[in-house]
Amino acid sequence: MTDQPRIGVDSWVAEVEERREAGRVRQAFERIPRSARFGAFIAAAAVVPLLSDNEYVIRVGVDTLIFGLLALGLNVVVGFAGLLDLGYVAFYGFGAYSFALLSSDKFGLHWPAEASLPVIVLAAAVTGLLLGLPSRRLLGDYLAIVTLFFGQAFVTFVTNGDRVTLLGHSGPFDLTSGPNGISGLDPLNFFGAEVQSVQGFFYVSLITLAVVMIVLHLAAESRTGRAWKALREDPLAAEVMSIPVNRLKLLAFAFGAGVAGVTGAISAAVDGAVFPDSYDIPILITVYAMVILGGAGSLSGVVLGAITINVSLEVLRDANQARWLFYSVILITLVAKLRPWPKLVAVLASLVAFGYAFHALVAAVWPAGTRGQAAGGDVIGRAVQDWVIRPEHHATLIGNYAFVALIAAVLALTLMRGVWRTVFLVPTLYLAAFVWENRLDFEPSVTRLIILGALLIVLMNARPQGLLGTARVEIG
């Protein structure tokens, strides 16, 4: 199991060992050259808009690409350089608002995209540099605080920016239209060609993603990339080895900010409007979850993380699809984690049996306990009708208590060992299904946020390197 840091092994050796330990499928996969894998991915992504003519689905794809870009930018700061930047989405917002100011009716400026985008990237990068300046001397925790505050300061500023007093200007000046945001933005206009359709947005974002990935890959393989890695692993040792630590930090900030800035501009053009609270903490946590899940430090990892999480969040919007997701995830986790296979079969069988038995019992004793409504009513919903309990009245209240009980049960589960753990797993899973069916499935917008938070906690405890990151190593 490679989730504990291994003492006395450096990361290159760890990587090689992991590769050797990996199965044949993984080895065959690794043998394909990187560029071919990358090309295949881009080609596959390019085909997606052609699969469906539902605008909303393609729109989800666009959002995924945008999140992928954000994850890539954050990856530079957190994954490459190891700096905890909690104000990252402020650069995203900065890019979006800059586009809004440059290409809308607000000030009458209508810059074409080929002029505004490079300017925005540069401006964002410079802002990142400026943020990095007071943070140079700060240790990890202080950096987190300062960047967090910067993020909040940005949101406060744009929310209240409709009445800014500028020197030499009589009366308050409306810079950012305050909480109403700026709407009616021009579409992206490249050399006269306007991008109006969702498919167009998709391809613009995809091209940007590809370009950014290539640039970052080259940066990671260069001297700067290696210096960043050294900075991440041990800042003191890096400084002793005469690596210009401060300059590198600034560079990382600038890179991350630049990527976030261009992403913001594209996102603003796609939406056609910018609003202050789109650049606040929930987006930050989402991007962080993507980076952590995918594996900080790995380019393909964070993009994979972005796809996984954004698609899951979209699926969670609709009750029926969410149910598919919920049960699949449970099943997959069980299959992956329970070894050997007789144990797996035993747990699954007893879970099903327990459910039916419990349901029959409750139906006999308290009929109103099983007549409740399911959220949505498709195949799986009906299939588990006789397995899970759905009270008819007070489902919300019981669900709430059950949720708290579930948290307690899961925590208790982490404390148990051996046979007891396996035995206790069954009722816990049943309780989880109960909570899902009666409470979480009804409130998708909150459920997705709860899952994000839980995901961060679980990842840090169980697999801090995420899906594709390399295991952290500690020397001695």
Indicate the residue among 187 and 225 with the shorter CB distance to other proteins. 187
Question: Cβ of residue 296: shortest distance to other proteins, in angstroms?
Answer: 8
Structure tokens at 309: 């999480």
335 lies in the site for other proteins, by CB under 8 A: yes
215 exposed, middle or buried (CB, 10 Å; 0-12, 13-18, 19+)? middle
Among 455, 469, 470, 471, binds other proteins (CB under 8 A): 455
64 makes contact with other proteins (CB under 8 A): no
Per CB under 8 A, the list member of 1, 8, 20, 25 interacting with other proteins is: 25
Does 248 participate in binding other proteins (rule CB under 8 A)? no
Is 314 a binder of other proteins (CB under 8 A)?
yes
Q: Is 197 helix (H, G, I), strand (E, B) or coil?
A: coil
Contact 92, 267 (CB under 8 A): yes
Transcribe 413-466 into DSSP letters: HHH--HHHHHHHHHHHHHHHHHHHHHTGGG-HHHHHHHHHHHHHHHHHHH-TTT
Regarding 331 and contact with other proteins (CB under 8 A), the answer is yes
457 counts as binding other proteins under rule CB under 8 A: yes
User: Which residue of 32, 207, 332, 360 would you call a contact of other proteins, by CB under 8 A?
Assistant: 332
Largest CA distance in the chain: 80
If one asks whether residue 55 binds other proteins (CB under 8 A), the answer comes out as yes
Q: Does residue number 328 form part of the binding site for other proteins (CB under 8 A)?
A: yes
| Part in contact with other proteins (CB under 8 A); list of ranges 64-72, 261-269, 325-333, 386-394 | 325-333
Instruction: Please give the residues from 117 up to 176 whose contact with other proteins meets the rule CB under 8 A.
Output: 134, 137-138, 140-142, 144-146, 148-150, 152-153, 156-157, 159-160, 162-163
If binding is defined by CB under 8 A, does position 82 make contact with other proteins?
yes
Taking CB under 8 A as the rule, does residue 84 contact other proteins?
yes
> Is residue 56 a contact point for other proteins (CB under 8 A)?
yes
Task: Look up residue 283 and give its amino acid.
Answer: I
Q: What is the DSSP letter of 389?
A: -
Of 102, 33, 99, the residue nearest 267 (C-alpha): 99
As a whole number of angstroms, the distance between CA 285 and CA 89 comes to 10
* Listed ranges 110-118, 209-217, 249-257, 279-287: which one lies at the site for other proteins (CB under 8 A): 279-287
The yes or no reply on residue 285 touching other proteins (CB under 8 A) is yes
Q: Which of 111, 272, 362, 422 binds other proteins (CB under 8 A)?
A: 272
CA distance 364 to 370: 10
User: Judged by CB under 8 A, which of 13, 122, 352, 446 binds other proteins?
Assistant: 446
Q: Which is nearer to other proteins, 212 or 402 (CB)?
A: 402
Least distance CB 190 / other proteins (angstroms)? 20
From its phi and psi, is residue 48 left (phi > 0), alpha (psi between -120 and 50) or beta?
Answer: alpha
**What Rg do the C-alpha atoms of the chain give, in angstroms?**
25
Query: Which residue in the block uniquely carries the two structure tokens 């099983």?
Result: 370
Binder of other proteins out of 45, 315, 384, 398 (CB under 8 A): 315
Q: Which two tokens stand for residue 89?
A: 């989405």
Amino acid at residue number 9: V
Residues of this chain, 97-116, that bind other proteins according to CB under 8 A = none
Minimum gap (Å) between residue 321 Cβ and other proteins: 6
Give residues 343-382 in contact with other proteins (rule: CB under 8 A): none
> C-alpha angle 7/9/10, rounded to 5°?
125
Q: Residue 277 interacts with other proteins (CB under 8 A)?
A: yes
Least distance in Å: CB of 460 to other proteins? 4
Strand pairing class (473-474; 6-7): parallel
Structure tokens given for 443? 């409130």
Alpha helices in 103-244 (DSSP H): 113-135, 140-160, 198-221, 223-233, 235-240
CB under 8 A, 24+ apart: contacts of 365-369: 368/392, 368/393
Q: Using the rule CB under 8 A, is 273 a contact of other proteins?
A: yes
Closer to other proteins at the Cβ: 367 or 453? Answer: 453
Query: Is residue 16 close enough to count as binding other proteins by CB under 8 A?
Result: no
